[in-house]
Amino acid sequence: MTLSTRPKPLVDNWNKPFWAACAEGKLVLQRCKATGKCFFPPAPVSPFTGKPDWEWITASGRGTLWSFVIFHQSYFPGMRDELPYPVVMVKLEEGPYLLTNVEGMEPEDLKIGMRMSVRFPGGPEGFVLPQFGPEA
């Protein structure tokens, strides 16, 4: 597996700080100032109030495996050599769900409810992709 052949994320004004933090080995989330709740993906307004009153916080990087699927078909040419591979939904301790991949695990080792933590092993040119694995 090589993360360097993966598709590059589409960067916009709202997710740019997220990708910049990943490049520094940090997972960040937006937090609504009125409710204290975190949300993802990045957005111009809080989904809880509809207002642009939020801040970036550094997340714990820990969560629980909420769901997963094993891809057996190639949807992205840069991931063809990884088949079959899991795509996982991690419920972060801060509340939001993050759709991501796993690092250092085989698909058969995934168990719903298992504790996971973030890693930053690399990515396509100019990006570092957050990946999750078993919590140490």
Residue pair 25/128 in contact (Cβ under 8 Å)? The answer is: yes
Q: What is the pTM of this model?
A: 0.93
Residue 60 token pair = 């714990």
- Give the type of residue at 9: P
pLDDT tens for the chain, 136 residues long, are 578 999 999 999 999 999 999 999 999 999 999 999 999 999 999 999 999 999 999 999 999 999 999 999 999 888 898 899 999 999 999 999 999 999 989 999 999 999 999 999 999 999 999 999 999 7
pLDDT, position 104? 87
pLDDT, position 42? 98
Return the CA Rg of the chain.
15
Residue pair 69/86 in contact (Cβ under 8 Å)? The answer is: yes
Q: Using CB atoms within 10 A of its CB, is residue 136 exposed (0-12), middle (13-18) or buried (19+)?
A: exposed
pLDDT, position 20? 98
Q: Where are the domains of the chain?
A: 13-134
Which are the contacts of 3, defined by CB distance < 8 A and separation ≥ 6? 121, 122, 123, 124, 129, 131
